[in-house]
Amino acid sequence: NMIFSTMRLLQHCFREFGMVVPKTSSPQCNGLRRGLHCAALRLQEDKDKSIPVPPSSTASPTTTFHEHYQAHPSEHDTATPAQEAAAAEEAPQPNISYVDQSGEQGEDYETEEQLQVRILNAALDFVPLHGWTVEAISAGAETLGLSAASSGMFQNGAGDLVLHFIAQSNTQLTEQLAEHHNQVQLGQAEPKKTADFLRDAVETRLRMLTPYINNWPQALSILFLPHNIPNSLKHLSTLVDDIWYYAGDRSTDLNWYTKRAALTGIYNTTELVMVQDSSEDFQDTWNFLDNRIQDIANMADATKRVTSTGEAVVQGLMGAAVTVRMLERICMFEMHRIKDYNNTLTA
Amino acid sequence: MAASIRLLARRIVRDAFRTINSSVSVRIVSSSCPSNLSACRCFSDGAADKSTHFGFETVSEGEKAERVYKVFESVAQKYDVMNDAMSLGVHRLWKDMLLHVMNPQPGIRLLDVAGGTGDISFRFLNYVRSQQERVARRTARANQTPSWQEISTSYTTPTEGIEMETEARESRAVVCDINKEMLKVGKQKAESMGVSSGLSWVVGDAEELPFDDDQFDVYTIAFGIRNVTHIDLALQEAVRVLKPGGRFMCLEFSKVTNPLLARLYDAYSFQMIPVLGEVIAGDWKSYQYLVESIRKFPDQETFKQMIEDAGLFSVRYHNLTGGVVALHSGFKL
């Protein structure tokens, strides 16, 4: 249990700092190894960036970074979602040298990343009108009083907007799950069954898409572009991992993989159903979600039964093999006897 | 005729100022007024004493501006032809790349400094126009299968406000150059291309622009900044005239990274280009100056540092053609 919790904390820690630890027991490893190149490039780029000093007051993002920098990672688990919230808020990961300097800067300075986050947040309002495009980012920048040309800051264009939205939604979900977890621990709320918990978590997360559901296919197509796949996979795997963690999964064997794979499948298919769902309040989608979770639950039971049956079957097969071998030997023995008898008769 | 008289007057005035200033170090800064430009030049302290490079020569700062002016005055007529000949047409790709990275939205105001013959501005107007057409096509396609609701509302309400919005947000480009000859050539090109709306031609010095603060969304300077005597002043002026959030973009010859390519490039530059200049434009010296000034210009990283020092953020550069040309971009945040 100790080993598991240390593993998890290390995982959170490294995810925040955008580094990759080659851990053997991580399915995120492949996505992260692909993302390693991106992370390394980003670190290099961030080192080249200058730290600006434009006077504009945004105290709260800076204080969350103080929290992020000062909170020791080995403290209780509830600190990690807050750290993740601070770290995951920005589409570009904060690099280490930036974090060092932010502690020294005054509270009324805003960094480039914070300004970019503000622009992207403002741009989300224009997504229903312009779609997930650079026009939406330009319109968002204009509401902040900046020129439309500042959308050139986002080299990935619409991809930055989509990834920012996903990171933000994931953070919101994690906060809600952490809140519920706290309440359960304080005894103020009832712990849910695993199936219900998963269902509620996926529904909450998918409901965040409702304002943008008409343009969501465009966002999905952007996420499937080759240069965006590492990032989108990373976000998806983090999301699924967090949901299972708060559902109480502490497995350390093959189940870790199967559970996350199952939930990834459920989440993706439900998202696709939601995109083409025209029923009232997406009721068809939630019914679909219920059925899929039920399938997984049934399969889990069946798997248990199959495992025990399987063992029995294997043993039966081995017994059969032994029997067959013995029968073979008996036959051979009999044949030798008959031959000898014939020989004695003829001889 | 008027141009040559004005040139003569400028030279006399400049000589007069130089003799006065040799003993007294005084900085004359005129307010932003285009008509005063011929009379007032910005002299830094002890202009006669400070020297700078003009190609591989060392000249005084005052002299450099004058000699650069003469260079461009003499090459103006054959400027575009020479560009095509020297770069084998690749300069068009470089300028297209500048526009592609800029990705201008409709309604943006562009200031094209050292714009001369207007290449960047023409491309800008084309780009914005094609974008507007694309948006119009998209809305038309979306309106092709309207529901009964939409049809009934379209009968009752007047024309959609969105179209009027895009018409109101017309993009404008201002071409600014210190050299009247280059602007003249540019104007002739505009007339022959039939481009009239959204384009203005202004005579101005990059170190002292005749515009108010916070005017432009994008400031570009393509293959012009190495001719400016005080690059930092030009950068400061860029920051001044840009709106908050505005973008500074600079296309300029830079250091080639690959050593093999560098050797080929050097050989081509020093052997071929002045010869082409002599054959096509009848001007060996100007093109000798061109290739020498490229070698004197700071490399990508140094220039990036200079841009950051001027107060621009999120500064990046792209190398084009292996470092022959670098596209620097920064934002005023």
Q: Which amino acid is at B228?
A: V
The Cα of B331 is separated from the nearest Cα of chain A by a number of Å equal to 7
Closest CA to B327 of B238, B239, B217, B222: B222
Q: Do B245 and A52 touch (CB under 8 A)?
A: no
Residues of B in contact with A148 (CB under 8 A): 105, 107-108, 217, 245
pLDDT at A297: 84
The pLDDT tens digits of the residues spanning A98-126 come to 433 444 343 346 788 899 999 999 999 99
pLDDT band at A304 (very low <50, low <70, confident <90, very high): confident
In sequence order, what are the residues at sequence separation of 6 or more whose Cβ sits closer than 8 angstroms to the Cβ of residue A267?
A202, A205, A236, A239, A240
Structure tokens belonging to residue A164: 């920012």
Say which residue, A309 or A223, is predicted with more confidence: A223
Tell me whether residue B213 is annotated as binding: no
**B161 pLDDT above the threshold of 60:** no
Work out the average pLDDT over A295-322. 80
Structure tokens belonging to residue A65: 């970074």
pLDDT band at A40 (very low <50, low <70, confident <90, very high): very low
pLDDT at B36: 43
**Sequence-separated contacts (24+) of B317-323 with Cβ below 8 Å:** B318/B97, B318/B101, B319/B254, B319/B257, B320/B93, B320/B94, B320/B97, B321/B90, B321/B94, B322/B256, B322/B257, B322/B258, B322/B261, B323/B254, B323/B255, B323/B256, B323/B257, B323/B258, B323/B261
Q: Do A54 and B243 touch (CB under 8 A)?
A: no
Closest CA to B127 of B173, B191, B58: B173
The four Cα atoms B231, B232, B238, B240 give a dihedral, to 10 degrees, of -150
The pLDDT tens digits of the residues spanning B42-100 come to 444 444 568 888 888 888 888 888 888 888 888 888 888 888 888 899 999 999 999 99
> What span, in angstroms and rounded, lies between the C-alpha atoms of B82 and B104?
28
Query: Would you say B268 and B90 are in contact if contact means Cβ atoms under 8 Å apart?
Result: no
pLDDT at A10: 60
pLDDT band at B8 (very low <50, low <70, confident <90, very high): low
Work out the average pLDDT over B270-289. 88
The pLDDT tens digits of the residues spanning A238-291 come to 999 999 999 888 888 888 898 999 999 999 999 999 999 888 899 999 999 999
Cβ contacts from A onto B, under 8 A: 67
The pLDDT tens digits of the residues spanning A168-218 come to 999 999 999 999 999 999 988 888 888 999 999 999 999 999 999 999 999
Q: Which amino acid is at A144?
A: L
Query: Would you say B293 and B286 are in contact if contact means Cβ atoms under 8 Å apart?
Result: no
pLDDT at B153: 77
Tell me whether residue B205 is annotated as binding: yes
Say which residue, A86 or B319, is predicted with more confidence: B319
pLDDT at B11: 59
Chain B contact for A290 (CB, 8 A cutoff): no
pLDDT at A201: 94
Under DSSP, the state recorded for B40 is: -
Neighbours of A44 (CB within 10 A): 10
> What span, in angstroms and rounded, lies between the C-alpha atoms of A209 and A284?
16
pLDDT at B210: 93
Residue in chain A nearest B331 by alpha carbon: A150
pLDDT band at B212 (very low <50, low <70, confident <90, very high): very high
Range in A232-236, B31-35, B280-284, B293-297 the model is least confident about: B31-35
> What span, in angstroms and rounded, lies between the C-alpha atoms of B110 and B246?
10
Q: DSSP 3-state assignment of B252?
A: strand
**B141 pLDDT above the threshold of 50:** yes
Percent with pLDDT over 70 in chain B = 81
Work out the average pLDDT over A94-101. 39
Structure tokens belonging to residue B178: 């210190």
pLDDT at B283: 85
pLDDT band at A6 (very low <50, low <70, confident <90, very high): low
The pLDDT tens digits of the residues spanning A50-89 come to 444 444 444 444 444 444 444 343 444 443 443 443 333 4
Neighbours of B160 (CB within 10 A): 11
pLDDT at B329: 95
Neighbours of B40 (CB within 10 A): 15
Among A48, A115, A135, the residue with its CB nearest the CB of B105 is: A135
Residue in chain A nearest B135 by alpha carbon: A130
pLDDT at A73: 39
Closest CA to B68 of B186, B206, B174: B206
Query: Would you say A165 and A218 are in contact if contact means Cβ atoms under 8 Å apart?
Result: no
